[in-house]
Structure 1
Amino acid sequence: MLKIIQPRLSELSYRKKIMQDIETMSYNAHYNLDFPEYNNDTGCILFDESSWKSWYSKWINNEPTRFYAYLQNEDGNYVGEINYHLDSSSNTHQIGILIEAKYRGLGYGLEGLKLLIEKANKMD
């Protein structure tokens, strides 16, 4: 059973870890995203500590416009992240789910998606 955990600023090291993990981010490779922190070859995203404060203020405690949280398994390990946000340029709601590579294939993606949908419905 997964739990949704909103991280503290000091806990963003897990996000940094998965954003820079080649196996976890391989799905994201070769999309030609146009920002300097993105590595087109690996799909990894540099998430330097100098950006944490501004990122945190944008993503945390900004419901219903934005929601971000870690997924924590029954053993207390973070297994991934989920998010929800309103894209004002397209006026659409978008969701994201990322499961750390070593935890894939264990049902966490589906369970996390269900938790995210439940959370998004409460924000509506």
Structure 2
Amino acid sequence: MLELVTPSLEDMWFREKLLADEETMSYNHAWGGTIPFPKEKWEEWYDRWLINHENIRYYRYLKDENGFVGEIAYHYDSEYDGYVANVIIFSMNRGKGYGTQGLELLCKAAREKGIAALYDDIAIDNTAIKLFIKHGFYEEYRTEDKIVLKKI
């Protein structure tokens, strides 16, 4: 069973580690793979996502009995005129059902905030598409590069 954790600024080391891990970020290969998140960016990012989120951004860590295992988030995106979901599970914790639990917790959090629909744009070859479809998302449209999924 996973627990949602609002990370502290000092906990951003986990996000840095998550985004820097090549295997974890392999799903992001179409958009450049790993993402640098050096310590000098933590405070500005933390302020935007966790302090001054303006009710258009949501961010939490997923934690099991051994520590942090991933992150969930959503944010408003004008391209979709809606909220885009994000679920990342650290590669060494995959295959344990954490993606499913994280997605369920994210949908629950969005519902509690009155969000009517979540979107996700996923690279066309990303195996996570199956996870989203299994949990009530449907294909809104696709391009050569991505599939846009939606859940009401």
TM-score (norm 2): 0.71
How big is each residue's C-alpha offset from its partner over 1:72-97, in whole Å with a ceiling of 9 and x where there is no partner?
01x14111000011113441211100
Separation (CA, whole Å) in 2 of partners of 1:112 and 1:63 = 23
> What amino acid is aligned across from residue 38 of structure 2 in structure 1?
D
Tell me which residue corresponds to 1:110. Answer: 100
Which is further off, 98-107 or 55-64?
55-64
Which protein has greater RCO, CA pairs closer than 8 Å, 6+ apart? 1
Indicate the RMSD between aligned Cα atoms, in angstroms.
Answer: 1.2
> What amino acid is aligned across from residue 58 of structure 2 in structure 1?
F
**SS of residue paired to 2:7:** coil
Structure 2 residue ranges without an equivalent (≥5): 115-152
> What amino acid is aligned across from residue 66 of structure 1 in structure 2?
R
Given that residues 3 and 72 in structure 1 are in contact (C-alpha distance below 8 angstroms), is that contact kept between their aligned partners in structure 2? yes
How big is each residue's C-alpha offset from its partner over 1:69-123, in whole Å with a ceiling of 9 and x where there is no partner?
10001x1411100001111344121110000001111100001111111101011
- 4+ residue runs over 6 A deviation: none
1:97 aligns with 2:87: yes
Structure 1 residue ranges without an equivalent (≥5): 32-39
> What amino acid is aligned across from residue 96 of structure 1 in structure 2?
N
Separation (CA, whole Å) in 2 of partners of 1:109 and 1:20 = 19
Identity of aligned residues (%): 39
Separation (CA, whole Å) in 2 of partners of 1:29 and 1:44 = 8
Separation (CA, whole Å) in 1 of partners of 2:95 and 2:79 = 34
Given that residues 69 and 83 in structure 1 are in contact (C-alpha distance below 8 angstroms), is that contact kept between their aligned partners in structure 2? yes
**SS of residue paired to 1:11:** helix
How big is each residue's C-alpha offset from its partner over 1:40-80, in whole Å with a ceiling of 9 and x where there is no partner?
3xx0000011111110111114263110010001x141110
1:70 aligns with 2:67: no
Tell me which residue corresponds to 2:110. Answer: 120
Separation (CA, whole Å) in 1 of partners of 2:89 and 2:4 = 13
The number of residue pairs the alignment matches comes to: 113
Structure with the bigger percentage of strand: 2
